[in-house]
Amino acid sequence: MIPQLERAYDEPHRRYHTRRHIDDCLTRLAAWPDLTGREVRLLTWAIWWHDAVYDPKAADNEARSADLARADLPRLGAAPADVEEVVRLILLTAGHHVPAGDRLGAVLVSIDLSILAADPAAYDAYAQAVRAEYAHVPQDAWRRGRAAVLRRFLDAPAIFADPGFAAAHEADARANLARELASLRSLSVPGQAPG
């Protein structure tokens, strides 16, 4: 892999969006059924580059990551059509909304969000790591913003865009999200200790 990409995932401000997240996503991809060799290659590139730029204070990380992939992948021999498909896939991770019928987008977004369905201890470690990445945000603002994100996921008809993945993992993800949301609510009750 490109050394600058490896270095990006080692940046000191990262706690969750690290090489471990990439490795976990690649492990999920390796076990995914019914993908062609080209699809695996495209998804592998999209996984590697989707968080290449990660600045918790910025709103354009996915766009900048996509731009980096557009610059880097031709040097690895990627065909122009493949580069543009990887760019498209990366941009889907900004809002995790996948158009109907977009199979590869559904796979990538489901893999990227798979931590939401982890066992409770792993999910809690993820939530703490994301909070550490946003340490610059005051607690009240964090609580409100994070709660809004969690509610958006919980209000969606499905968290995971891939139907098979959703069937297997949706309930676990919803349980984790609801538990974290309840914890954030308890932090906002005056005089109550965090749960």
**pLDDT digit of tens for each residue in the chain (195 aa)?**
678 898 999 999 999 999 999 999 999 999 999 999 999 999 999 999 999 999 999 999 999 999 999 999 999 999 999 999 999 999 999 999 999 999 999 999 999 999 999 999 999 999 999 999 999 999 999 999 999 999 999 999 999 999 999 999 999 999 999 999 999 988 654 443 333
Same domain for 24 and 48, yes or no, is yes
65-76 burial by CB neighbour count: b if 16+ within 10 A, else e? bbbbbbebbeee
Please give the DSSP secondary-structure letter assigned to residue 10: T
Q: How many CA atoms lie within 13 A of 36 on its CB side?
A: 5
- Determine the Cα–Cα distance for residues 159 and 170; give it in Å rounded to an integer: 7
Domain final residue pick, 112, 140, 163: 112
State the residue range of the domain holding 137: 118-195
Same domain for 137 and 89, yes or no, is no
CA 82-88-93 angle, to 5 degrees, is 130
Same domain for 23 and 2, yes or no, is yes
Instruction: Give the predicted TM-score (pTM) of the model.
Output: 0.93
Closest CA to 104 of 128, 122, 84, 120: 84
3-state secondary structure 41-101: HHHHHHHHHHCCCCCCCCCCHHHHHHHHHHHHHHHHCCCHHHHHHHHHHHHHCCCCCCCCC
Same domain for 96 and 177, yes or no, is no
Domain count, the chain: 2
Same domain for 143 and 108, yes or no, is no
Place of tokens 């703490």: 128
Contact in structure between 185 and 151 (CB atoms under 8 Å): no
- The phi-psi region of residue 34 (left if phi > 0; otherwise alpha if psi is between -120 and 50; otherwise beta) is left
Query: From the CB of residue 28, how many other CB atoms can be counted at a distance below 10 Å?
Result: 18
Domain final residue pick, 112, 131, 147: 112
Same domain for 9 and 79, yes or no, is yes
Same domain for 6 and 80, yes or no, is yes
